[in-house]
A and B are shown apart, each in its own frame.
Chain A
Amino acid sequence: MSKHANRRLSRLTLGTAACALALSAALPAFAADKGSIGVSVADQKSLFYVAAVEGMKAEAAKLGYDLRIASASNNSSLQIKQVQDLLVQNVKALIFISQDSTAAQAGVKAANKADVPVVAVDEKPEAGAGKLVTYIATDSVKAARDLCTWAFKQMGGKGNIAILRGVLGATAELQRSQGCKEALKEYPDIHVVAEQTANWDETEAYKATQNILTANPKLDAVFGESDAMAMGAAKAAKQAGRDGLIYFGIDGFPTMFTAVKSGLTQATMAQNPYKMGVMAVDDAVAVITGGGKDIKPEQYIDTTLITKDNAGTEKPSTYYGPSADSMQ
């Protein structure tokens, strides 16, 4: 390619980029007159966050507020910049699902400085890191504790389990591990014979479970700290011809509902991100309109245990919003 053509190509690329920018700036031209609420979310890959944002959108549309949503693709320094950009646009409140405690702290501080009320969802800033209207989340420790207790009862209070952990050090991984450890204290005859990480990923869980099954001829249950990992474990055991094990996960994703119904896996704890999104907008609006004095500083949403008994009657859309039923 000649130098000349090269220059033409780069000019074309620049032109396209400029057009795209101009277009995206022109898009949210019909802001509702009540003002806008900023939403900063860690990512839009995980179904949990997608569902939370769906809930926010639905509620904001109902109340006539405009939402400005920024997703940070799991990059905490990018998220801090996005929060600052939202604050520059004079949002009246900030709903904040932070990537980690680092981003949380800096984001909350910036919002406090700009006098914008903050509703934190899912990830909590460290204590003393600024002022929050409220913090809305799943009590992951309790969810894991209840789930593991249910499973240990199913096992008759004795036997061997394996635990597949999420990304090490992630808040959800730490809390879910802690919850199951608390349940283990009550059941001295349950032994954890293997503990590996599979980074929330189904393929990694499949491979890790193959090895765990090989090394442990006597295994009664696998706890996947996410639904994807529990399903990967169940499929690996199926392929190895091992049956009669109990597989349980946490999330309550639509695919897991199907798996529990079909008997591939035995249980999950369904979280309620859609409802969290709705509540976050309600609280933000209450504060904007001068109310919200009675909002509790911490609001924990209970999870629901999904087993073969209720997988047929419960609907994924209850937890993950209207679009979830089509994903089964």
Chain B
Amino acid sequence: MLQSTNATDAAHAGAQESAKERALGLVRLVPGPLIGLVVVIVVLSYLSPYFLTTRNIVNIFSQVSDIGIMAVGAALVIITGGIDLSVGAVLASSLMVNAWLYRYGGVPFPLAVVAGLLFGTAVGFVNGALSTYARIQPFVATLATMSACSGFALFITDGSPITTFPDWYTNITAINVLGVPFEAVILVTIYLITAFWLRYRPSGRALYAVGGNEEVARLSGLDVQRIRVGTYAIAGFLAALAGMIVGSRLDSAQPTAGVNDLLSVIAVVVIGGASLAGGAGSMLGTFIGLLTIGVLRNGMGLLNVSPNLQPVVIGGAIILAVLTDRRSRH
């Protein structure tokens, strides 16, 4: 799996180092968010007999797949020091573009899917261009595209959903590969590829440089603006991909899909230890953050916790996670 720090770094302990210090060093190796996740899992397993069943674990993975795919893009943008508020709206608008082309535009379904993905990528490009070349702050630029996209999603069909798609499309979220739901396979694959890219490829590592110190990155020969635009485009593409998953799951395209997802996505990335100031964050952390939110929501549903209390718990979890994570505080 993915390792966030190298165990050998801390293992070069001198002979004078006391046992206490060594123990502390070992504790520091465990990513902060992971401790929280383990605590939540232990508590929930104790409270609900259904929590640690295969069926439920499978459910958790399929429930977080759409948010999780969006969170990858959001995390990349946040690592470069930007922010993308438009992910949920891009999910809805690209899904509607795809469904509309298929239902009313007479486009064959596979092509319509590609068009939906291209639409999301294009909005990502616009986000990137606005926040680099046009020098609009990313928060403002993506706020504008968020508004435009959520309106556009409703405008296409006057607010009504489009239903009934080909079987192969709805099967994406129905079939299992070796007992694992296919959407979970897609989710984990995206995390692994992105983690590899961020860690071992120069173009991936450049994201940290851009987010850490833009001036230094520029002076060391990185094309900062191009990297930023590319990152927003990836985020747009992934939001559109999450839209395809949502559409497949329900066999229907809702213009209001993803409307409540933005805060969940940001929460996932932040719990995972990324810093909104840029330059810090990892795919392993984001994945742990995703599971934390997913497990909390699932567990509260199993225990039938009052719906009014659930957002309070999530809010508390965010604060706790950030407080216990030493690296992301400034």
Interface residues in chain A, defined as those with a beta carbon under 8 Å from any beta carbon in chain B: 1, 6, 9, 44-47, 50, 165, 168, 193-197, 199, 201-204, 206-208, 210-212, 214-215, 228, 231-232, 235, 239-240, 254-255, 258, 327
Q: Does B220 count as interface, using CB distance less than 8 angstroms?
A: no
B256 touches A201 (CB 8 A): yes
A9-B134, A44-B154, A327-B160 are known; give 7 further A-B pairs, CB within 8 A: A196-B307, A208-B301, A210-B301, A212-B304, A214-B53, A215-B303, A231-B250
Residues of B within 8 A of A201 (CB): 254, 256-257, 259-260
Show 8 A/B contacts (Cβ-Cβ < 8 Å), sorted by A. Answer: A44-B158, A194-B304, A201-B260, A203-B66, A215-B301, A215-B304, A254-B160, A327-B160
Bound form: Cα–Cα A165–B304 in Å = 13
Q: Mark B194-209, 1 if CB is under 8 A from A, else 0.
A: 0000000000000000
**Which size class do B's interface residues fall under?**
35 or more
B307 touches A168 (CB 8 A): yes
A211 touches B298 (CB 8 A): yes
B254 touches A203 (CB 8 A): yes
B159 touches A46 (CB 8 A): yes
Report whether over half of chain A's contact residues are helix, strand or loop; otherwise say mixed. helix
Bound form: Cα–Cα A199–B50 in Å = 25
Residues of A within 8 A of B258 (CB): 203
B307 touches A165 (CB 8 A): yes
**Which of B55-63, B115-123, B283-291 binds A?**
B55-63
Residues of B within 8 A of A258 (CB): 163
B159 touches A50 (CB 8 A): yes
B50 touches A202 (CB 8 A): no
- Known A45-B256, A165-B307; contact A196-B134, beta-carbon cutoff 8 A: no
Residues of A within 8 A of B298 (CB): 211
Which residues of chain B in 285-330 are interfacial with respect to chain A, using CB atoms and an 8 Å cutoff?
297-298, 301-304, 307-308
Partner of A255, one of B161, B174, B257: B161
Q: Smallest CB–CB gap between A262 and chain B, Å?
A: 10
Q: Smallest CB–CB gap between A52 and chain B, Å?
A: 13
With both beta carbons as reference points, the residue of chain A lying nearest to B129 in the complex is identified as A1
Residues of B within 8 A of A254 (CB): 160
Bound form: Cα–Cα A258–B164 in Å = 10
Q: Smallest CB–CB gap between B102 and chain A, Å?
A: 15
Residues of A within 8 A of B246 (CB): 203
Bound form: Cα–Cα A196–B301 in Å = 7
Bound form: Cα–Cα A132–B2 in Å = 65
Residues of A within 8 A of B154 (CB): 44-45
Q: Does B255 count as interface, using CB distance less than 8 angstroms?
A: yes
Q: Does B168 count as interface, using CB distance less than 8 angstroms?
A: no
- Known A197-B307, A255-B252; contact A211-B158, beta-carbon cutoff 8 A: no
Residues of A within 8 A of B307 (CB): 165, 168, 195-197
Q: Does B251 count as interface, using CB distance less than 8 angstroms?
A: yes
A44 touches B159 (CB 8 A): yes
A206 touches B260 (CB 8 A): no
Q: Mark B224-262, 1 if CB is under 8 A from A, else 0.
A: 000000000000000000000010011110111111100
A203 touches B55 (CB 8 A): no
Q: Smallest CB–CB gap between B224 and chain A, Å?
A: 14
Q: Smallest CB–CB gap between B53 and chain A, Å?
A: 7
Bound form: Cα–Cα A186–B273 in Å = 52
Q: Which residue of A9, A193, A210 has the most chain B CB atoms within 10 A of its CB atom? A: A210
Partner of A6, one of B135, B159, B304: B135
